[in-house]
Homo-oligomer: A and B are copies of this chain.
Amino acid sequence: MNDRFLKACRREPVDATPVWFMRQAGRYMAEYRTLRQKYSMLEMCRTPELAAQVTLQPIKLGVDAAILFSDILIPLEPMGAPVEFAKGEGPVIARPVRTAKDVETLRVIDPEESLGFVFEAIRMLRKELSVPLIGFAGAPFTLASYLIEGGHSTNYLLTKKLMFSDPACWNDLMARLAEVVRRFLRAQVAAGAQAVQLFDSWVGQLSVDDYETLVAPHVRHILRDLETTGVPVIHFGTGTSALLESMTRAGGTVIGLDWRVRLDEGWARVGHDHAVQGNLDPASFTAPREVIHQRAADVLRRAGGRPGHIFNLGHGLFPEAPVDEVRALVDFVHEFKHA
């Protein structure tokens, strides 16, 4: 069993820096594209055999962890808000949630009952994998933004309208989401996930004070409880240069850093009593190998060989990433020697 990743989460010394990639199971791999021609995104998420198969695809690239193939929006349908993945348009929520009445219809589900396919995939994967398996969920703000906007947004106007105009309704929505996410992550751990990542991908749209007041308490509800399971929790967002201290206080064993902040400066702000994950700009894969490796070396040098660094991108792999370069980067990270 390769346990570099789990050791780094616990800030224990490792023989080489562990590396995995957000969206490492995805369209950049030919095997994935082949399966996606036969099955829809939702079919793949909901069929344990397919989810497990896709999860395994990138392992041969040499990564030190697997992340369950799924989607952060998966819990929304059983809650009462069906999601469609329209081709090339991203997710669409047919009936967006915008009023107190809409919020009241959202069920605080028991994931064991309605999301059994996720746990089944986890159990299958644990029998196959020689690297740790990461479970995950979307964080309440990011989920709420999809629910309210009805899909992806550029300005989050409707989300912020609810936050700013009706904080009681907002907090009701966030509390329902947070409790579902808490149960969902706990159940993933119970099924065998050896770490979990909370994706608050769009939280960087908020001011520090709005985050502290209207988001952090709900994140804390989830992460305080998860900490008692003993599995590492990665707390991730993008555009969070102003939020690192607040996100760290909200919880997490490992804090995700995006590429906008220098890794050493971000780690100092998070505090060396936490591990960090990141933070190569995913657009680096548009460059020639030599440049990718120079840029990765800069990240590694900033980590300085301090125990507790997990190499990753600052956000997910793009479909345009060349698979050979992904593989070569894994090797480069593993072979990197700190001076």
Which residue of B is nearest A282, CB measured?
Answer: B155
Q: Does A94 reach chain B (CB closer than 8 Å)?
A: no
Contact A164 B291 (CB under 8 A): yes
Q: Which of B165, B262, B288 contacts A165 (CB 8 A)?
A: B288
Q: Does A208 reach chain B (CB closer than 8 Å)?
A: yes
What's the Cα separation between A155 and B165 when bound, in Å?
31
Residue among A204, A241, A282 having the largest count of chain B Cβ atoms under 10 Å:
A241
Note all chain B residues with C-beta closer than 8 A to A337.
none
Q: Does A261 reach chain B (CB closer than 8 Å)?
A: yes
Note all chain B residues with C-beta closer than 8 A to A318.
155, 157
Q: Which of B155, B261, B283 contacts A161 (CB 8 A)?
A: B283
Q: Which of B242, B259, B288 contacts A207 (CB 8 A)?
A: B259
Contact with B along A228-251 (1 / 0, CB 8 A): 000000000001011100000000
Q: Does A281 reach chain B (CB closer than 8 Å)?
A: yes
What's the Cα separation between A207 and B204 when bound, in Å?
15
> Which residues between 281 and 318 of chain A lie within 8 Å of chain B, taking CB atoms?
281-284, 286-288, 291, 295, 298, 318
Q: Does A206 reach chain B (CB closer than 8 Å)?
A: yes
Contact A283 B242 (CB under 8 A): no
What's the Cα separation between A334 and B186 when bound, in Å?
52
A83 to chain B, nearest CB (A): 20
Q: Does A260 reach chain B (CB closer than 8 Å)?
A: yes
Number of copies: 2
What's the Cα separation between A262 and B245 when bound, in Å?
13
What's the Cα separation between A284 and B160 when bound, in Å?
8
With A157-B320, A165-B291, A242-B241 already in contact, the answer to whether A209 and B262 are too (CB < 8 A) is yes
Q: Does A156 reach chain B (CB closer than 8 Å)?
A: yes
Q: Which of B157, B205, B260, B288 contacts A286 (CB 8 A)?
A: B157
What's the Cα separation between A208 and B239 when bound, in Å?
13
Note all chain B residues with C-beta closer than 8 A to A209.
262, 298
Which residue of B is nearest A160, CB measured?
Answer: B283
A164 to chain B, nearest CB (A): 4
Note all chain B residues with C-beta closer than 8 A to A161.
283, 286-287
Contact with B along A190-216 (1 / 0, CB 8 A): 000000000000001111111000000
A316 to chain B, nearest CB (A): 10
What's the Cα separation between A160 and B260 when bound, in Å?
14
Contact A261 B164 (CB under 8 A): no
What's the Cα separation between A242 and B238 when bound, in Å?
12
Given contacts A164-B286, A210-B281, 18 further A-B contacts (CB under 8 A): A155-B282, A155-B283, A156-B283, A157-B286, A157-B318, A157-B320, A158-B286, A160-B281, A160-B283, A160-B284, A161-B286, A164-B291, A164-B295, A206-B260, A207-B259, A208-B260, A209-B298, A241-B242
Which A-B residue pairs are the 3 nearest by beta carbons?
A161-B286, A241-B241, A160-B283
A-B contacts, 28 listed (Cβ < 8 Å) = A155-B318, A156-B283, A157-B283, A157-B286, A157-B318, A157-B320, A160-B281, A160-B286, A161-B286, A161-B287, A164-B286, A164-B291, A164-B295, A165-B288, A204-B239, A204-B260, A205-B260, A206-B260, A207-B259, A207-B281, A208-B260, A208-B261, A208-B262, A209-B298, A241-B241, A241-B260, A242-B261, A243-B260
